Chain A
Amino acid sequence: MNAAVAALSSVGERRRIAVGYGFWVFLLSDIVMFSCFFASYAVLVHATNGGQQPRQLFDLDRVAIETACLLVSSFTCGLASIASGRRNAVLFHVSMAATLVLGATFLSLELAEFMSMVARNAGPTHSAFLSAFFALVGCHGVHVAIGLLWLMTMMAQVYAKGFRDDVSRRILCFTLFWHALDIIWVALFTVVYLIGVAP
């Protein structure tokens, strides 16, 4: 505790706490927004308009691979934040690159799923259930895509500017964002895919 108080005497540490807390409040409001999409999905899931049901549409093997990608990327993102704390540029770039590859794999699997659904006449215009599905899963996908852009920006900033205080505050916010996306995915694969397919 005394060490924490001593660390607080620096202005940089106080700013880091303020920035992290502000971003945490933003993430919670983002989660509140997702909860609205979840609520509309749960209300509309049976409104299939005579079309295909969740059980016929979802491929659990693909979802399992997507889940593994995102979970391991959360771990490598944690390694990147440790590397940033230790000012270790090599470890930082390696673990951020691993996060980038896993996130891109996740996104391409999700896009392949969307395209195969549209090709099977199960696009977002077909029923209320499918509109809610594409809105919810697509919104998470858009967040992942933005996160990947942010990730590459952070790699470039560390490469160009090193671990300055402002850069490491941005890295803190990015890691919070990426872990929060993984938490939303846990809710998503459970509510949409597993409960949709469960007997």
Chain B
Amino acid sequence: MSKLIPADKAADVAPGDLPAGDNESGVLGYVIGLVLAGGLTAVSFYITRGGLFWPPSIPTALIVLAIAQMGVHLVFFLHITSGPDGTNNVLALAFGILIVFLIIAGSLWIMGNLDHNMLPMDQIMKMQR
């Protein structure tokens, strides 16, 4: 890290591969990932049964837990980290997340707006006669 690396030899690591020198902790990383992901899944299923949270807050809590679990999978299973070796992988991921966000938020926004402004079905049928 202390000295500059020539551009044609810039360190890079394939997604899924551990950074060089990290191979000893391989199994441990997967075990930590399994425990964390399993715990988050268990919490998700548990709060869905109800009684623990204020019911209207449950969908939001579930989405937060799911995003956390996807982060756990990315870091411990796919080894996509923000370290200096993985810049390209993280940039591609960031672009993917941007597109996914635009598609889902945009669809819900526009379709919700259309649904809100549409006449009830019986009135549409009346206008067609």
Residues of A within 8 A of B (CB): 1, 3-5, 7-9, 16-17, 19-21, 23-25, 28-29, 31-32, 35-36, 38-40, 42-43, 60, 64, 67-68, 71-72, 74-75, 78-79, 81-82, 85, 172, 175-176, 179-180, 182-183, 186-187, 189-191, 194-195, 197-199
B14, A172: Cβ atoms closer than 8 Å: yes
A35, B78: Cβ atoms closer than 8 Å: no
With a cutoff of 8 Å between Cβ atoms, the chain A residues found around residue B19 in the complex are: 4
Within the complex, which residue of A9, A179, A197, A198 is in contact with B78, where a contact is CB–CB below 8 Å?
A179
B100, A198: Cβ atoms closer than 8 Å: no
A199, B77: Cβ atoms closer than 8 Å: no
Within the complex, which residue of A31, A72, A179, A189 is in contact with B77, where a contact is CB–CB below 8 Å?
A179
A20, B16: Cβ atoms closer than 8 Å: yes
B108, A21: Cβ atoms closer than 8 Å: no
With a cutoff of 8 Å between Cβ atoms, the chain B residues found around residue A43 in the complex are: 107-108, 111-112
- In the complex formed, the residue of B with least CB distance to A34 is B100
A190, B30: Cβ atoms closer than 8 Å: no
A190 to B1, CA, bound (A): 41
A16 to B99, CA, bound (A): 27
Distance in Å from the Cβ of A139 to the closest Cβ of chain B?
A: 15
Q: Given contacts A4-B19, A82-B27, are A75 and B11 in contact (CB under 8 A)?
A: no
Q: Does B9 reach chain A (CB closer than 8 Å)?
A: yes
